[in-house]
Amino acid sequence: MQTKEAAAVLQEYLRPATFPVAVKMSAQESLPEKVRRPVDFLGHPVAVCQGISMARNMGWAIGFLREDHACAPSFIVLGLAEEPAEVKLSEVVYPLYGETPEACARTHEHMHTLPAGKIKSIIVSPLERADFDPDIILFYGNPAQIARLIHSALYRQGGAITSAFIGRNSCAAELVAPLLTGQCQVIVPGSGERIFALTQDHEMCFAIPRGRLEDVLFGLKTTHQLGAMRYPTPYQGLRARPQYPKKYHQLEDAFNIAKNR
């Protein structure tokens, strides 16, 4: 399925507030001319989560080479550099995210990271405008929309979506985990993404690796058509008869709408 078609299906059945994002992660050390590099159009590097936010909110295609990345922890997560022997990431976050270095190290063990040198460039673009075959599709939405994507991802395969939640380094869960595992991921965006990329308090993220996209879109359409669940949520309360205060009963009697009160 082409990117425009995929974007149209997500739009029809989920009504996202921001563009779904196509992500290309490549070993190439060059970028297409038409993508915007942060160091060129901003004059400084930014975090990759900021680039994702630009793509989904502004509709821009953003390209990252090594010089465009501003987030030091992401250098390790995305394999842009070897983790220094003398400065471990789990030690950098102590005591910010753990009472002890050992607690931070245990958390670090659950974070996916790419081998150094595997990826040289990253492109993020609105899915409907992407002129490349994406490795990952990111969908930001509220919990009800994310639940619909969970239904959809499980429709053919069954099972459960398995994700790790550590509350930081969102790029590890959004980009690295689906790339390495080939499975969909549910992400609660971390503190850095909220502070720097302006991800909103009500937003969650769902990451779809390219190999699962057809199944997810099929499941989304099919579960909607079968009526298992839809978005917006078809609240049963909308079909119930309203119950008004007793003071209204006299008017109900006058208008002959008091039956089965």
Share of the chain above pLDDT 70, in %: 98
Q: C-alpha distances in angstroms, 54 versus 20, 29, 72, 189, 252?
A: 12, 22, 20, 16, 54
Minimal CA–CA distance to 163: which of 190, 145, 134, 199? 190
Considering the entire predicted model, what is its pTM? 0.92
Query: pLDDT digits over 118-139, tens only?
Result: 999 999 999 999 999 999 999 9
Query: pLDDT digits over 70-85, tens only?
Result: 999 999 999 999 988 8
pLDDT of residue 86: 81
Within 10 angstroms of residue 248's Cβ, the number of other Cβ atoms is 14
Query: pLDDT digits over 136-191, tens only?
Result: 999 999 999 999 999 999 999 999 999 999 999 999 999 999 999 999 999 999 99
pLDDT of residue 77: 96
Minimal CA–CA distance to 77: which of 194, 160, 168? 168
Rounded Cα–Cα distance for residues 7 and 27 (Å) = 26
Rounded Cα–Cα distance for residues 176 and 115 (Å) = 10
* 62-64/185-187 β-pairing: unpaired
Q: C-alpha distances in angstroms, 240 versus 229, 235, 237, 246, 251?
A: 19, 10, 5, 18, 20
Mean pLDDT of the 36-55 span: 98
Residue 246, pLDDT > 80, answer yes
Q: What is the dihedral of CA 69, 71, 77, 78, to 10 degrees?
A: -10
pLDDT of residue 241: 83
Tokens representing residue 242 in the block: 């309203």
Minimal CA–CA distance to 41: which of 26, 56, 28, 58? 58
